[in-house]
């Protein structure tokens, strides 16, 4: 099995685990380079790289652009060359390489973001509409209703026939809506509140919403402040319009949440000889003099710096 095949296998495993990562693929090379077209690497949200997209002249740049892609969710083509790109192109990021080999390569950066999950509690028309609409905009959907089976909600990815949600492992990428319309609102919310969810919404009138919170307070249920009144703007609308307004609210919240959670970018430094970007934590070639530290992309640059007797800036 080739390294590229191993990268794809590992990517499949990360997707099954719901992790965020980037697949970086070398799509073009202009020799001499240490990478070949088809070489691949995975970059995870914590900045780790596994695979191969070239040596020190390209790895730090690819990793940096991969982390930016995880922030905005957009794929891009990274062009690394010894000369400036002639003009700006949409979806293309150009980096000037000062690598002594003078080679060039293009790397496609493809962010892999886990699909958010939408839990919908209830068997009402609004609940069914939410499941259908959620799947349309890319959510993995889960229908929750005591006694329900997969045959009852065939459009859902998962059906849970009880209020025991533990087997589904709800997490911070799970958005939950209670659309039971008064049948078992309090019990449904009580089953959701123990989990650290991105959103908990209740479809209810203002009066009903206040009553539900009072009942939960009387039961001693904690975390009531996390419950949102869903689709506040859709008062008096149809069940389908309520579902649409609720999902629009969730999608807006999800986008805002993604912007507030930037990927962890590793600390970098500039090689004082060639100008390449060097990742500080994993730098193999370091020169310390007193309180100053210089980082180099290669032993060649480190030796050149020493021979030139350059003062520490």
Report pLDDT digits (tens) over 172-220: 889 999 999 999 999 999 999 999 999 999 999 999 999 999 999 999 9
Q: At what angle do helices 125-136 and 239-259 cross, to 10 degrees?
A: 40
Q: Quote the pLDDT of residue 283.
A: 80
Span 78-98, mean pLDDT? 79
Q: Hey, what are 128's tokens?
A: 């069914």
Under DSSP, the state recorded for 104 is: E
Question: pLDDT band at residue 312, thresholds of 50, 70 and 90?
Answer: very low
Q: Which fold has domain 117-259?
A: Rossmann fold (3.40.50)
pTM over 0.85? The answer is no
251-271 pLDDT, tens digit each? 998 887 765 555 566 777 888
Span 84-106, mean pLDDT? 77
Least confident of 11-15, 96-100, 270-274: 96-100
Q: Hey, what are 289's tokens?
A: 């003099």
User: Distance between CA atoms of 279 and 298, rounded to whole angstroms?
Assistant: 12
CB 242 within 8 A of CB 235: no
Under DSSP, the state recorded for 312 is: P
Q: Which residue has the higher pLDDT, 97 or 138?
A: 138
Q: Quote the pLDDT of residue 214.
A: 97
Span 2-13, mean pLDDT? 90
What's the order of all strands across the beta sheet hosting 158-160?
158-160, 140-144, 117-121, 174-178, 199-202, 227-229
Give CATH 3.40.50.720 domain extents, the chain. 117-259
User: Distance between CA atoms of 102 and 214, rounded to whole angstroms?
Assistant: 70
Over its C-alpha atoms, the chain yields an Rg (Å, rounded) of 26
Query: Residue 259: in which H helix or E strand, if any?
Result: helix 239-259
User: Distance between CA atoms of 242 and 310, rounded to whole angstroms?
Assistant: 68
Q: Which residue has the higher pLDDT, 299 or 124?
A: 124
First to last CA, the chain: 48
In the block, tokens 């609940």 appear at: 127
Closest CA to 22 of 110, 101, 84, 87: 110
């Amino acid at each position: 099995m080739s390294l590229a095949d191993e990268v794809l296998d590992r990517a499949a495993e990360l997707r099954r685990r719901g992790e965020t990562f980037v697949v970086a693929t070398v799509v073009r090379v202009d020799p001499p380079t240490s990478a070949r077209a088809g070489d691949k690497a995975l970059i995870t949200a914590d900045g780790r790289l596994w695979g191969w997209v070239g040596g020190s002249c390209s790895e730090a740049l690819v990793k940096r652009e991969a982390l930016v892609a995880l922030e905005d969710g957009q794929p891009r083509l990274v062009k690394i060359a010894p000369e400036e790109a002639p003009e700006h192109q949409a979806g293309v990021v150009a980096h000037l390489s000062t690598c002594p080999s003078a080679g060039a390569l293009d790397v496609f950066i493809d962010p892999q973001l886990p699909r958010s999950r939408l839990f919908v509690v209830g068997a009402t028309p609004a609940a069914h509409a939410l499941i259908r609409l959620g799947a349309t905009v890319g959510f993995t959907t889960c229908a929750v209703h005591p006694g329900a089976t997969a045959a009852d909600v065939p459009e859902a990815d998962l059906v849970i026939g009880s209020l025991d949600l533990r087997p589904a492992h709800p997490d911070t990428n799970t958005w939950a809506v209670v659309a039971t319309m008064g049948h078992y609102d309090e019990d449904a919310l009580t089953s959701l509140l123990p989990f650290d969810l991105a959103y908990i919404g209740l479809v209810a009138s203002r009066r009903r919403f206040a009553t539900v919170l009072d009942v939960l307070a009387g039961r001693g249920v904690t975390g009531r402040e996390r419950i949102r009144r869903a689709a506040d703007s859709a008062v008096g609308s149809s069940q389908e319009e309520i579902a649409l307004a609720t999902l629009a609210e969730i999608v807006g919240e999800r986008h805002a949440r993604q912007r507030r959670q930037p990927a962890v970018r590793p600390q970098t430094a500039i090689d004082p000889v060639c100008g390449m970007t060097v990742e500080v934590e994993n730098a193999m070639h370091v020169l310390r003099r007193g309180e100053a530290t210089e980082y180099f992309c290669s032993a060649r640059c480190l030796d050149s710096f020493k021979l030139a007797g350059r003062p520490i800036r």
